[in-house]
Amino acid sequence: MIDVRLLRTDLEAVRARMARRAKPDLLVQLDNAAALDGRLREFAAERDSIRRQVNDLSKQVGQLRRDGKAAEADAAMAQSREFGDEEKGLAAKTAEVEEQLRQILLRIPNIISDEAPDGASDEANPVIRVHGFDGVAFDDHQRVPHWETGVALGILDNERAAKISGAMFTMLRGAGATMARALCQLALDRNADAFEEVRPPTLVTTATLTSTGQLPKFADDAYSIERDDLWCIPTAEVPLTSISAGEILDEADLPKRFMAYSPCYRRESGSAGRDTRGLLRGHEFDKVEILAYAAPEQGRALLDEFVARAAGTMEALGLPYRVIGICSGDLGQSHHLSFDIEVYAPGCDKWLEVSSVSWFSDYQARRADIRFRRTGQKGTEHVHTLNGSALAVPRVLAAILENYRQSDGSVAVPDVLRPYMRGITAIGPK
């Protein structure tokens, strides 16, 4: 969440930044939060006044007793008890307003970087660069959608997946399942030089899901296990972010880097009928995530590194890709500055988002209470967090099935994947 102190010291600047998100209701929420914070400060001043009066009365009672003025001492004690009851009532009101403020702050998005381009929606997202794409260079045999190729090759069986689990679940078989695993191992291997591999839990608590910003705003898109107060993770970003929740790190240990393979679960509640064929959108999928804790001054350079790592894997796979800057109106709630990487799928004739790389500034760390102490200095600061999809399997696999489709209907395995494919160099019909 944003630093509430900014509402006291620089509210107009925060309003100006928030206005760039093109959501007018956010300004109302900011004003409501500032008003609630003002009430809390009034309550605090009132509480301090009451406590001073109680302290003064306590001193008076002692002196009155020493002076033998028992009746006056009893009256002072009675007045002190009244002040005590008043303070209890004030404490209850304070707790109520604190919770109201907390709920608003949990819904107010992060402050946008000055570097983020202006725009009201994804239509305004600028293309930063394009690699390996020539729109007229694709042959007719590459213009076949992957869901047709996958079925023809016997490696995609969504019909049986739906029988097992319902709509928008997918099932890969044979060489398709092998390639999905190979993609994950490739992504892990390409980032093992700098990232600690973690296999985190895929069920997390409400507090953990709240720390990254998924709750309360995106509760409808998450799968919950109410009996146990647990949630299925939508991305490994969620457990990785909370590894050091409530801890104070040393400056010398930053940046601290993690990577994880995990299954991911999303309801995709608003996507009915939209890009649901084949592997483009599903309730469960595999992904490799990279994440870092950083000092504030390290954040921007790490963001560039994360983009380069994700893009480099697409380049190694021989897939045409482009890097997109995310404009102010399209940034996610927790995002300070973000870039997407999209690969071109000739069979779908679409650019498919395969990675989102984001810098969250201290927004998530405030929720999770992750801080660090600078060497030789007193006090602590919140770390900055960054994350990126090193590789999300479904759409990358879809792009491979289309870009690498051969004239005989088979699919060549990209060279970089072949060491992981048990000797398979091409996937042909059974």
Quote the tokens at residue 406.
């051969």
Asked if residue 273 has pLDDT above 60, the reply is no
pLDDT at 274: 60
Q: Answer with the one of 73, 107, 141 that is the final residue of a domain.
A: 107
Q: What is the DSSP string of 21-41?
A: TS-THHHHHHHHHHHHHHHHH
Residues 266 and 294 in one domain: yes
Q: Per mean pLDDT, which of 25-29, 70-74, 267-271 is the most reliable?
A: 25-29
CATH number where 284 lies: 3.30.930.10
Residues 25 and 52 in one domain: yes
* pLDDT (mean) for 79-99: 91
Residues 154 and 58 in one domain: no
In a domain, 330, yes or no: yes
Cβ(1)–Cβ(111) below 8 Å: no
Asked if residue 271 has pLDDT above 60, the reply is no
Convert the pLDDT of each residue in 383-399 to its tens digit: 999 999 999 999 999 99
In a domain, 219, yes or no: yes
Give the range among 54-58, 293-297, 418-422 with minimum mean pLDDT.
54-58
In a domain, 236, yes or no: yes
- CA-CA distance, 215 to 221, in Å (whole number)? 10
Beta-carbon count within 10 A of 36 CB: 21
CATH number where 76 lies: 1.10.287.40
pLDDT at 163: 97
Residues 32 and 99 in one domain: yes
pLDDT at 79: 87
Residues 394 and 253 in one domain: yes
Segments of 16-165 assigned E as strands: 127-131
Residues 132 and 260 in one domain: yes
Q: Answer with the one of 46, 75, 107 that is the final residue of a domain.
A: 107
In a domain, 112, yes or no: no
Residues 79 and 148 in one domain: no
Q: Strands across the sheet with 224-225, in order?
A: 203-205, 230-232, 224-225
Cβ(319)–Cβ(400) below 8 Å: yes
Residues 173 and 292 in one domain: yes
pLDDT band at residue 270 under the 50/70/90 scheme: low
Q: Is the pTM of this model over 0.75?
A: yes
Convert the pLDDT of each residue in 97-134 to its tens digit: 999 999 999 999 999 999 999 999 999 999 999 999 99
Residues 169 and 81 in one domain: no
In a domain, 150, yes or no: yes
Convert the pLDDT of each residue in 193-205 to its tens digit: 999 999 999 999 9
Residues 129 and 50 in one domain: no
- CA-CA distance, 316 to 418, in Å (whole number)? 12
* pLDDT (mean) for 324-329: 98
Please report where in the chains the tokens 């990487």 appear, as a residue. Answer: 341
Asked if residue 272 has pLDDT above 60, the reply is no
pLDDT at 430: 74
pLDDT at 390: 98
In a domain, 267, yes or no: yes
Convert the pLDDT of each residue in 341-353 to its tens digit: 999 999 999 999 9
In a domain, 62, yes or no: yes
Q: Answer with the one of 46, 81, 107 that is the final residue of a domain.
A: 107
* pLDDT (mean) for 246-250: 98
Residues 320 and 405 in one domain: yes
- Domain range for 266: 122-427
Residue 354 amino acid letter: V
Asked if residue 269 has pLDDT above 70, the reply is no
Give the range among 80-84, 139-143, 244-248, 333-337 with minimum mean pLDDT.
80-84
Residues 351 and 375 in one domain: yes
Per the structure, the count of domains in the chain is 2
pLDDT at 201: 97
**pLDDT, the chain, mean:** 95
Q: Specify the higher pLDDT residue, 270 or 302.
A: 302
- According to DSSP, the β-strands at 203-205 and 371-373 are unpaired
Percent of the chain residues past pLDDT 90, beyond the cut: 86
pLDDT at 65: 84
pLDDT band at residue 77 under the 50/70/90 scheme: confident
- C-alpha distances in Å from residue 7, one per residue of 45, 133, 212: 18, 46, 22
